[in-house]
Structure 1
Amino acid sequence: MKVFRYTILMLLVAATGAQAQEDTAAPKKKVSYHFHFYAPPKPRTGYVTAGGNGALLSFANMSNAGERVRNIPRFTLFFNVGTNYNYDFTNNFGIFTGLNIKNIGLISKPNDSVKLKQRVYTLGVPLGLKFGNMRDGFFFFLGGEYDLAFNYKEKYFLHGDKKSKFNEWFSDRTPTFMPSLFAGFRFNPGFGLKVQYYLNDFYNKDFTQTVNGVKEQPYKDMKANLVFVTLSYNFGFQFHAGPHKSSGKYRKGTKMIIEKRTVED
């Protein structure tokens, strides 16, 4: 009988150990679903949204001493970011400002052999108006922006081969401050179009450099008015959690989000 009892006891201990190892190796998981309501901010409430510019397509009306200079449309995707601070007086009218970093510039071909790529990174502060359906529909925006040019870069090509390049921080080759005007529209779910025109010349006509001991002003007779189009100027909401009610009903634009949670025992 003692042998039988010891045998049963050893089998129970072995089974318990195997179960413990199985539980340690593969803990159980519990899955649950939670429902939340997210609503756009109420009018007369400040809020922050994504902003800035996406892909930019730039154009320029260029001339040198009154003669037209051929240039090529310039496309750039990197590095254009920003954020907006919004204040809506109603669901159909509001204002915004923010900070935008943009990569703007031009590509010119003074003759058949030479090609120049010139660009600046700028930090801009826009101030604009919005009007239309700003909750979940179509609206227009317009305004002005003041940019600080903080990095200039130039590439020189001869017969298609890159011969030189350089970049300068806070270069004198372009104006330090670059004012502009913009206008555009946005449609759900956050895509839009914006056109922006710079009021001053891309070049600093007073810039002076010394080449082989001789001082020269390479941009004295140059003129280049820059305009660009961007296909993404986002005012996407950063939704606030919670059932925000207005007159006993959820506000227009409220969305229900299903959140999946997995917890290990």
Structure 2
Amino acid sequence: MKVIRYAIILMLLATTTGLRAQEDSSAPKKRVSYHFHFYAPAKPRTGYITAGGNGPLLSFANVDKAGEHVRNIPRFTVFFNVGTNYNYDFTNNFGIFSGLNIKNIGLITKPNDSVKLKQRVYTLGVPLGLKFGNMRNGFFFFMGGEYDLAFNYKEKFFLHGDKKSKFNEWFSDRTPLLMPSVFAGFRFSPGFGLKVQYYLNDFYNKDYTQTVNGVKEQPYKDLKAKMMFVTLSYNFGVRWETDRYHKRHHDKYRKGTKVIIEKKTVTD
């Protein structure tokens, strides 16, 4: 009788467990996963590409006409300034870089209280520079030179605050085609920095000639404009974000690499 009693108890337990398993199988399941994010520049003596170039630009100009100062105001622009850098670090404290940068540069002049003239060019620039300091995640300086190719000119004319005309030209003769410059700056975190850039030649092409009412004239012959700008967000950081990449490229990680662990809970 005891055997039969134990058998009945075991059958009841098995049935209860089976029912509970069926109930549990229909309930939502939760899975927990962990994602590892790595941040570090490449090892010395390796090349790497980073997003970079220029962020918001604040431009200044020294403008005069026939030796007399022409009033102008600083020009601020966010669009369209983008770029990328190719970096090569010889050591943790010294490297070089080049790249491609698209910039929106120009000036705003106000010859009198009634007239305002906005002039700008889009340029494609190739910098070549040095950087020295703490390349990995600290403070460092950079400096160098850049050649810009001016590929689009735009002008807006305002009278008493009202826009009277505007036009743009591709590869215009109103400005020099090539615009050399020098720059210097510093980086104080992987994504933030400050750069000052000064253009060596004049913004205007003094030899530009146009015909107005059948008469040829050179509107920029007596104009002189030297430009410089200040920009933020000159980025030299580089980021890898998967542990799979880390396993394949373990030699690119160095002591002190930052590791961020992210916990994710997924409900099926």
TM over 0.5: yes
User: Is the 2:37–2:240 Cα contact (8 Å) retained in structure 1?
Assistant: no
Paired with 1:253 and 1:99, the residues of 2 have a C-alpha distance of: 31
Report the RMSD for the aligned CA atoms in angstroms: 2.3
> Is the Cα contact below 8 Å between 2:40 and 2:136 reproduced in 1?
no
What residue is the counterpart of 1:142 in the other structure? 143
Counterpart residue identity of residue 246, structure 2: G
Offset at residue 255 of structure 1 (A):
1.4
Q: In structure 1, which of residues 224, 234, 242 is the aligned counterpart of residue 246 of structure 2? A: 242
Structure 2 counterparts to residues 73-88 of structure 1, below 5 A? 73-88=74-89
Contact 2:71 2:109 in 1 (8 A): yes
Task: Write out aligned runs for 1:33-182 (5 A).
Answer: 33-35=34-36, 37-182=38-183
Q: Partners of 1:35 and 1:156 in 2: how far apart? A: 54
Instruction: Using the aligned pairs only, state the percent identity.
Output: 84
Output the CA distance in 2 between the equivalents of 1:37 and 1:208: 57
Q: Give the secondary-structure state (helix, strand or coil) at the position aligned to 2:239.
A: coil
Instruction: Report deviation, 1:253.
Output: 4.5
Letter in 2 for 1:229: V
Question: Does residue 257 of the first structure (1) align with residue 260 of the second (2)?
Answer: yes
**How far, CA to CA, are the matches of 1:33 and 1:260 in structure 2?**
5
1:34–1:115 Cα change, 3 Å: closer
SS in 2 for 1:94: strand
Name the SS for the 2:83 alignment partner.
Answer: strand
Question: For 1:148, what is the secondary structure of its paired residue?
Answer: strand
Q: Secondary structure at the match of 1:137?
A: coil
User: Structure 1: which 5+ residue stretches go unaligned?
Assistant: 1-18
Describe the shift of the 1:81–1:98 C-alpha distance in structure 2 as closer, same or farther (beyond 3 A). same
Counterparts in 2 of 1:189 and 1:47: CA distance versus 1, 3 Å: closer
Q: CA deviation at 1:29?
A: 4.6
Aligned residues: 242
Give the structure 2 partner of residue 12 of structure 1. Answer: none
Moved over 6 A (4+): none
Distance 1:39 1:68 in 2: 49
Deviation at 1:119, TM superposition (A): 0.3
Stretches of structure 2 lacking an aligned partner (at least 5 in a row)? 1-21
User: In structure 2, the residue corresponding to 1:127 is in which secondary structure?
Assistant: strand
Deviation at 1:28, TM superposition (A): 4.0
**8 Å contact kept, 1:38–1:242:** no
CA 239–221 in structure 1, closer or farther in 2 if over 3 Å, else same: same
On the 8 A contact 1:128/1:142 being kept in 2, the answer is yes
**Cα pair 1:40 1:239 within 8 Å, conserved:** no
